[in-house]
Amino acid sequence: MVHPRLQHIRIILVEPAGALNVGAAARVMANMGLSHLVLVNPHCDPKGEEARRMAVHAGELLAHATTVSTLPEALTDCTRAIATTGRDRALNTAMEMPEAALPWLLSPEAGGASASAALIFGPEDRGLSNEELNYAQRFVRIPSDASYTSLNLAQAIAVCCYELARAVAPRTMSSAQPPPPQMVGETASLEQLEGFHQHLEAVLLKIGYLYPHTAASRMEKLRRFFVRATPTSQELAMLRGILRQTEWALTQVEHLPSSIPEFDSQDTPQG
């Protein structure tokens, strides 16, 4: 049975290679009251015999899983996203424990319960790349023994789904992390943020702040800054207005004459 407070959360698997893992993910999602499974460019048959056998009684959830080509497509309409990683990363955003970060997905909008949130898992062989991590605002790492830090994908999904289920259980609500201060207005979707990031990069290249050979690394830092800031749609519209005005100002500079005559003190006003 889908829990009403979890129905807006989508579990995203990026390029899953094992049909058994996909089936196991569907099963544990059904166990914990989640229902929306999204597969990004799967490298297996996610609805074949192996997956269905592993899903057991979650066959319907598996049958209704959404398949998309890219991670941005999987995040359409999402306002909050948490990415999971099994190893240390050189990131400006801290790694968090599942029980501390995951309750944040329960209320993705201060003003609209219909907004979606996402929990992202990477491929079994490599995990999420740094570029893929850029699409999330927070990062979760499941603690494990230092001698063997890599969890099986299905096991990691089970741990996180369990923590989400605990977060909505009445007996544990008193221990849940307090929500962050609410903003005025609806949080911008990750799709809107991606459009802003692309616009920002184009303008920064035009004005010479970015150079083509270093743009990717510099934009990675800027992306993380704006994703962490979780701007509202209105704030993002204001920022894009600034970018459009900057582009307009550039066209005016381009049309200025190459040389402007100096004022001659001997000249006198006419008329």
If asked whether residues 22 and 146 sit together in one domain, one would say yes
Beta-ladder partners of 39: 13, 67
If asked whether residues 199 and 148 sit together in one domain, one would say no
Residue whose token pair is 């000249």: 267
* Residue 243 in domain: yes
List the pLDDT tens digit at each of the 271 positions of the chain.
Answer: 678 889 999 999 999 999 999 999 999 999 999 999 999 999 999 999 999 999 999 999 999 999 999 999 999 999 999 999 977 666 667 789 999 999 999 975 544 455 899 999 999 999 999 999 999 999 999 988 878 877 899 999 999 999 999 999 854 444 445 555 555 578 889 999 999 999 999 999 999 999 999 999 999 999 989 988 889 999 999 999 999 999 999 888 777 666 545 545 444 444 4
If asked whether residues 151 and 200 sit together in one domain, one would say no
If asked whether residues 194 and 171 sit together in one domain, one would say no
State the CATH number of the domain containing residue 201. Answer: 1.10.8.590
pTM of the model as a whole: 0.75
* Relative orientation angle of helices 233-254 and 190-206, to the nearest 10 degrees: 20
Query: What is the span of the domain harbouring residue 204?
Result: 190-254
If asked whether residues 198 and 170 sit together in one domain, one would say no
DSSP state of 12: E
